[in-house]
Amino acid sequence: MSVPRPAAVIVLAAGEGTRMKSQTPKVLHELCGRALVDHMLAAARDLSPERLIVVIGHARERVGGHLAETSPDARSIVQTEQRGTGHAVRTVLEEVGPIAGTVLVTYGDTPLLRAQTLGELLAGHERQGNAVTVLTAEVPDPTGYGRIVRDGGGAVLGIVEEKDATPEQRAINEMNSGVYAFDGLLLADAVKRVSTDNVQGEEYLTDVLSILREDGHRVGAHLAADYVEVEGVNDRVQLSFARGVLNRRVLEAHMRAGVTIVDPSSTWIDVGVTVEADAVIHPGTQLHGRTRVESGAEVGPASTLTDTEVGAGAVVRNAVCDGAVIGPQVSVGPFAYLRPGTVLARGAKAGTFVEMKNANVGEGAKVPHLTYVGDATIGRNANIGASAIFVNYDGVNKHHTTVGDGAFVGCDTMLVAPVTVGDGAYTAAGSAIIDDVPPGAIGVARARQRNIEKWVLRRRAGTKSAAAAERALAEQEQRESGT
Ligand code: UD1
Ligand code: CA
């Protein structure tokens, strides 16, 4: 199908969205890694329109600010008072002037509408030489929607809003999606002639259809194959429904491209995530933002990755990773937390109950258990013993720790930054290392042990410990006296 390039796409997003019951403007609610309005803009962009226009009104500072950041190619036009869909379009055309060519009008709250469906609407519109073509759908329950009124021969006469409809018209189940392809110049003229003579006292964009028809122009309809696509989001129940549908689409695209998703019902992948063929995603996994998972990697179960790279063949289990770079063949988790600035080179390991941030871990280096690594460089093939802590914060400032290639940090070492453990150096278990350890040396920083004989018998008399000690000492005495 060759899709004609529209002269403009106008996205209406000035409404309040009261049913969301939210401090956040409706069109900024997030699903699958994008705000509602950004889903519509992404679909619009796929049509390569010459102009992309968004009508904003309610919370215009926030919505406008968001759009300036995420969609610099879109122009925001403010509709100060929301006096109806016709008024919204009139406001745009008064500001930018009449637009020659095809103008597509859509809403900012229909995230399921696919570019392909919009393309089919445009193609049908141009093929039939219509002045306007409305996207319609047959829905099980059309309550609340405008109905498509046709004559006996099936030609579209116009659209009647539920509130203005007769009982017979309310029985029509072909609804108006609110998406239209217009001849831009005819639209500019007709939208000025829309009245407010209706139950809601608004300027209805829907009236443009009957106006153009009465002028003798061709008015058509394009029936969407799947009505789910045109359903808007008005409350949080619909938001969660749309999220489920969108997520399922994303997962199916990945699966068809060769990704194994063990349990789609518990897997959530944002639209901006890349997953290569032959990666495996285990149950309970969420991949957010710009996360990228390379071929042969396994992520999950129960892992949440945001803006994280997972290299080929890496394994990430029961982990939370945010802004981390996990190299090829790396092992993460179970139960690891990787924070921004963590970079694990090929074959490295961040094991069980390990937290890292702003840490460069060299090739083959292992941090297997119970360790915090903050603001550090760890050399190739170094080994960090269980329960080592990189003490990076002195209460005021953060400092850096360097552990050299092949170094061996003993269990329960405190590395008090700034400090360097040289290449091939060791630290003794339980040491608090505050001075640099030269290459090849062992740093020992702990008090010598002394045992106080029979302390428990004297100071904890009558306890289970004292009883056990008495027994052991008596046996020892018997053995020593040789009886
Ligand atoms: C509108 C249609 C109805 C259709 C339905 C589909 C009209 C008169 N009716 O009804 O036939 O079935 O959509 O969902 O067009 N908006 C503005 N400025 C305004 C008014 C609305 O930008 O002044 C935006 C809203 O933010 C929203 C969209 O336009 O995204 C639709 O507005 P809404 O008031 O929800 O229209 P409906 O009454 O649902
Ligand atoms: Ca609506």
The pLDDT of residue 483: 64
Tell whether ligand 1 has an atom less than 6 A from the beta carbon of residue 149.
no
Q: Which residues of the chain have pLDDT under 70?
A: 1, 483
- Picking from 412, 411, 407, the residue whose alpha carbon sits closest to that of residue 437 is 407
CB-ligand 1 contact for 205 (6 Å cutoff):
yes
Helix count and strand count (H, E) for the chain: 10, 39
**Residue 13 alpha carbon, nearest atom of ligand 1:** 26
| Res 4: pLDDT | 84
What would the DSSP string read from start to end of 27-56? GG-EETTEEHHHHHHHHHHTT--SEEEEEE
pTM (two decimals): 0.93
Determine if ligand 1 sits within 6 Å of the CB of residue 146. yes
Indicate if ligand 1 lies below 6 Å from the C-beta of 233.
no
Residues 7, 100 contacting (CB under 8 angstroms): yes
* Backbone angles phi and psi of 219, in degrees to 5: -120, 125
pLDDT of 1 reads: 58
Q: Which ligand number lies closest to the CA of residue 82?
A: 1
Nearest CA to ligand 1 atom 17: 14
Distance separating alpha carbons of residues 371 and 390, to the nearest angstrom: 8
CA pair distance 344, 328, nearest whole angstrom:
9
Nearest ligand 1 atom, CA 110 = 30
- Look at residue 482 in the predicted model and tell me its pLDDT: 80
Q: Closest ligand to 146 CA?
A: 1
Q: Is 369 a catalytic residue?
A: yes
Instruction: Classify strands 426-427 and 442-443 as parallel, antiparallel or unpaired.
Output: parallel
Q: Is 13 in the pocket of ligand 1 (CB under 6 A)?
A: yes
State whether the beta carbon of 109 lies less than 6 angstroms from ligand 1: yes
Q: How far is the CA of 382 from the centre of ligand 2 (A)?
A: 60
What the chain holds in terms of domains, given with CATH numbers, is 8-230 (3.90.550.10), 259-443 (2.160.10.10)
What is the CA(196)–ligand 2 centre distance, in A? Answer: 18
Instruction: Considering only the C-alpha atoms of the chain, give the largest distance between any 2 of them, rounded to a whole number of Å.
Output: 122
Residue where the block lists tokens 């149950």: 283
pLDDT for residue 355? 98
* Residues facing residue 322 across a β-bridge: 306
Give the nearest ligand 1 atom to 26 CA: 26
Distance 98 CA to ligand 2 centre (A): 26
Q: Tell me, using a 6 A CB cutoff, whether residue 412 lines ligand 1.
A: no
Contacts of 4 (CB under 8 A, 6+ apart): 102, 122, 123, 126
Ligand (nearest to CA of 15): 1
Q: Average pLDDT, whole number, for the chain?
A: 97
Measured from the Cα of 17, ligand 1's closest atom is 26
Q: In 279-438, which residue ranges form alpha helices assigned H by DSSP?
A: none
Selecting among 29, 39, 222, 369, the annotated active-site residue is 369
> pLDDT (tens digit, 9 = 90+) per residue, 304-359?
999 999 999 999 999 999 999 999 999 999 999 999 999 999 999 999 999 999 99
